[in-house]
Amino acid sequence: MAIQKKNGKGRLDKWYKLAKEKGYRARAAFKLIQLNKKYGFLEKSKVVIDLCAAPGSWCQVAAETMPQNSIIIGVDLAPIKPINKVITFQSDITTEKCRQTIRGHLKTWKADTVLHDGAPNVGTAWVQDSFNQAELVLHSLKLATEFLIEGGTFVTKVFRSKDYNPLLWVFKQLFTKVDATKPPSSRNVSAEIFVVCRGFKAPKRIDPRLLDPRTVFEDLAEPTPNNEAKVYNPEIKKRKRDGYEDGEYIQFKEIAASEFINTVDPIAILGQYNKLSFDQSINGDVALAALDKLPETTEEIRNCCLDLKVLGRKEFKLLLKWRLKVREIFGFPSKKSAKVLAEEVAVVEPMDEELQIQEELQKINEKESSKKKRERRRENEKKQKDIVRMQMNMTAPMDIGAEQDGPRGEGEMFRLKTVDKTGALAKIAKGKMAIITDLEARRNHDSGIGSSGETDDESDEDGDRLETELDQLYDRYKERKAESDAKYCAKKARKEHKDDEWEGVSADENESSDEELEGFESSSDEDSDEEADEKPLLWDLDDTPSEANGLSKRASSFFNQDIFKGIEGLIEEDEDENMWEDEAETSAADKAATTTAEAKQKANQKQKRKREAEALIAEGSDDESASKAATKPKPKTKKVDEDDDWEEAEKQEQEKRKKDGRLDIDIITAEAMTLAHQLASGQKTTHDLIDDGFNKHALKDRDGLPDWFLDDEGKHDRAHKPISKAAADAIKEKLRAYNARPIKKVAEARARKKFKQAQRLEKLKKKADMLATDEGLSEKDKASSIQKLIGASKKKGKRNPIKVVKAQGSNRGNAGRPHGVKGRYKMVDPRMKKELRAMTRIAKKKSR
Ligand SMILES: C[S@@+](CC[C@H](N)C(=O)[O-])C[C@H]1O[C@@H](n2cnc3c(N)ncnc32)[C@H](O)[C@@H]1O
């Protein structure tokens, strides 16, 4: 909106021109026209008094609008040129003479409307103007109360100033309806506003105080202004459209600088005044003179004092500092001295310096530790959440190590940190069984970590370590999860596990496995630290040394039996131990195939091993060695020979067992199942199996044959094992059961759903508890609120129904989501439906 100028030319706006056109004496005529248009008081009035009517435009409008033969009386300080049908006279409306003149004109009549558009001679000080205006309004109201008829209307102009509200209050005491409005013809720059008071109550007696300017405009104590805010955050000055700010009557305010020094509220001075003056009065101000001469009163200070309104934060601070200095020089009581005085009065023994330092240190420590605790708690909460999620995904919490080591090293004896140093942690995470001695732990304790003399800092360190360990475990858990993924597993197996079928049997493998356990094995000597370094954590009760030929202890003990005594070359030919790998046996011995993916992987490995076994057979096709080797136990078979070392066997058995104690064996091929059936039903014995091992395939000469040929042979020229129907059916059934299991995503989604339901329930419980304990609610309200809660939670749980979509048009043959369908859907094929119906019909007919 364009700002209207109040200068001469600005006044010559469209209302001015319009007034000229219409013959009104002033543009103010339109204000009355617009007010009357809104409230319609002139048409209903027979008698109107226009107070302050000169030059008379309102009288003109009234004469035009009011009914014929109406009485219009206009009065003003200034003379009013005669207007047809209007009585005008010159008088001051605040005087008794004016009142009497009006009475004289009206005789016994009463006025329906009293208009007042008076404005005192404005242009002096704003505050004076506004006050005079308000006073004039009150005078006009006084006249109105005298001449108005009951239910009559009083229209007055007021300025929006601090007197505005008291005036409104007075109006409301005397009239039933009071509306303040600003007609469009009133300039925006003007602070004037018009109040239309309708329904004069015409009380028999009016309290004179109600119309007395001294009581009506009596100053009320105002809340203390926030001068500090004013100084440091000076708000943007508003335009004075609605008049000047209350209390700010003079634009430029000046105060003696000595006052600033004296005052107890320097901020107030800085906020209210424009200038701190050093000018001396005629009588002379000693304080000001002294201040002027002080060296502290620098040129910069003087400049700052010149215009306070342009100062920034920095300058204000400078002035305040200067004030404090001067006050000190003048010997004013300062805060410091007050403090000293107070200290003198209340004699408090000063704290011992050392004690103070200690106290401070303690405080810092406490702060630090509470911060760390907070962080740890947060971290633990996060982990707890993860664990819950994992649990929902049917994962045991111990997989991430949460049970091994509780928070703050609860299970100190199971400290994983100590194990981790030997690399055993990884093995534990992989699920291998190992006995962890507390040797390492003790060693660490000796070295000070986690020792009994643990300080707070150390305990924090431990906490951090625990965190890192948990992190590591969690990472490993994730890795393991990834490993359980079939693709990942197969890929890794191809890369890493080339010969894992022979793990623990061949000399090399045995060595490597020993290497693996190196960190766990320990000797009985725990005295020296150096020795302890070499001591493995796993304690082997059988301390017989490994055979020099590289056989495992188990194998060695087997071949040490009397039955093998005297057989030459047995040990040397042990290299060919794997040659008697029977396909059926391998199948039966393929362990730990807990998932279909793993089963597939095992099948691949089995094929590979078979080929290798055949190659070995080809290499050493010596019957004798074959027969000897055939008698060797295959370490991974579930059968444990009676003569085996029981402890060793038990250990191996233990390895093969699942967590629930069941043997980790899976039969996944029809051949293996047939063989298992035959063994179980006694159709075959171990002897038969060995016997079956002697066949044309076992005794093939492959020397000098090219690889491609051997590969091909391995694929096609192999022994065909018999398959029984029952075994095939059993395998089929087994696979069906595997396939019937929900896929991982479905299981996860179900778990998620379950988790969310649990969360919702928890929330609901909490809310219900809160309601139940709310003392402000009656029992009935509580019950209904809880009922509502339950109802709302049920609603949320409702799922959208499944949408049935016909496989027609664009959706025909569409494998994915049909076009434009959101949410759950089911594709239906009308043709298939018909065919199904037809088939059932035919089947019914046939059955009759
Ligand atoms: C804005 S003019 C009124 C214009 C008028 N309503 C019209 O339409 O022509 C304000 C008038 O109030 C008058 N006035 C101010 N103080 C007065 C008083 N004490 N008694 C009578 N008139 C007064 C002034 O002389 C001035 O003419």
Atom of ligand 1 nearest to the CA of 29: 8
Q: What is the pLDDT of residue 391?
A: 63
* Ligand 1 near 78 CB (within 6 A): yes
- Cα(239) to centroid of ligand 1, in Å? 27
56 labelled ligand-binding: yes
Q: Report the length, in residues, of the chain.
A: 848
Q: What is the pLDDT of residue 738?
A: 80
Best mutation site among 20, 59, 65, 77 for ligand 1, i.e. most ligand atoms within 8 A of its Cβ?
77
Cβ atoms of 673 and 730 closer than 8 Å: yes
* Ligand 1 near 117 CB (within 6 A): yes
Average pLDDT over residues 817-826: 84
- Cα(8) to centroid of ligand 1, in Å? 19
Q: What is the pLDDT of residue 117?
A: 92
- Cα(50) to centroid of ligand 1, in Å? 10
117 labelled ligand-binding: yes
The rounded distance, in Å, linking the Cα atoms of 245 and 222 is 13
Q: What is the pLDDT of residue 387?
A: 72
- Assessment of whether the complete model's pTM goes beyond 0.90: no
455 vs 685, higher pLDDT: 685
Complex prediction ipTM: 0.99
- Counting Cβ atoms within 10 Å, is residue 402 exposed (0-12), middle (13-18) or buried (19+)? buried
The rounded distance, in Å, linking the Cα atoms of 359 and 680 is 79
Instruction: Give me the helices (H) in 198-283, please.
Output: 213-216, 227-232, 257-262, 266-272
643 labelled ligand-binding: no
* Ligand 1 near 94 CB (within 6 A): yes
118 vs 626, higher pLDDT: 118
**Closest residue by CA, ligand 1 atom 18:** 92
* Ligand 1 near 92 CB (within 6 A): yes
Percent of the chain at pLDDT exceeding 90? 17
482-538 tens-digit pLDDT: 655 555 555 555 555 444 434 433 434 444 434 443 433 333 344 444 444 444 444
Q: Report how far apart, in Å, the C-alpha atoms of 356 and of each of 351, 353, 456, 471, 629 are.
A: 6, 5, 20, 40, 83
- Counting Cβ atoms within 10 Å, is residue 73 exposed (0-12), middle (13-18) or buried (19+)? buried
- Cα(53) to centroid of ligand 1, in Å? 5
* Ligand 1 near 53 CB (within 6 A): yes
550 labelled ligand-binding: no
* Ligand 1 near 58 CB (within 6 A): yes
The rounded distance, in Å, linking the Cα atoms of 126 and 412 is 84
The rounded distance, in Å, linking the Cα atoms of 62 and 70 is 9
- In DSSP terms, which residues pair with 148 in a beta bridge? 111
Atom of ligand 1 nearest to the CA of 117: 6
The rounded distance, in Å, linking the Cα atoms of 48 and 56 is 13
Atom of ligand 1 nearest to the CA of 26: 9
Atom of ligand 1 nearest to the CA of 56: 9
59 alpha carbon, distance to own chain's centre: 69
- Cα(117) to centroid of ligand 1, in Å? 6
Cβ atoms of 408 and 459 closer than 8 Å: yes
Cα dihedral 630, 634, 637, 642, rounded to 10, equals 80
* Range with lowest mean pLDDT among 117-121, 398-402, 676-680: 398-402
363-390 tens-digit pLDDT: 888 888 888 888 888 888 887 777 777 6
545 vs 154, higher pLDDT: 154
Instruction: Give me the helices (H) in 294-352, please.
Output: 299-306, 313-330, 335-345
**Closest residue by CA, ligand 1 atom 13:** 52
636-653 tens-digit pLDDT: 444 444 445 556 666 666
Q: Report how far apart, in Å, the C-alpha atoms of 479 and of each of 474, 475, 722 are.
A: 9, 6, 41
- Cα(69) to centroid of ligand 1, in Å? 25
Instruction: Please say if the pLDDT value at position 481 is more than 50.
Output: yes
Best mutation site among 76, 132, 155 for ligand 1, i.e. most ligand atoms within 8 A of its Cβ?
76
- Cα(119) to centroid of ligand 1, in Å? 5
Instruction: Please say if the pLDDT value at position 239 is more than 50.
Output: no
**Closest residue by CA, ligand 1 atom 12:** 118
- Cα(109) to centroid of ligand 1, in Å? 24
58 labelled ligand-binding: yes
Q: Which of 126-130, 301-305, 439-443, 526-530 has the highest mean pLDDT?
A: 301-305
* Ligand 1 near 26 CB (within 6 A): yes
* Ligand 1 near 101 CB (within 6 A): no
* Ligand 1 near 90 CB (within 6 A): no
Q: What is the pLDDT of residue 616?
A: 45
* Ligand 1 near 603 CB (within 6 A): no
* Range with lowest mean pLDDT among 3-17, 133-147, 433-447, 746-760: 433-447
* Ligand 1 near 74 CB (within 6 A): no
- Looking at the annotation, which residues are catalytic? 157
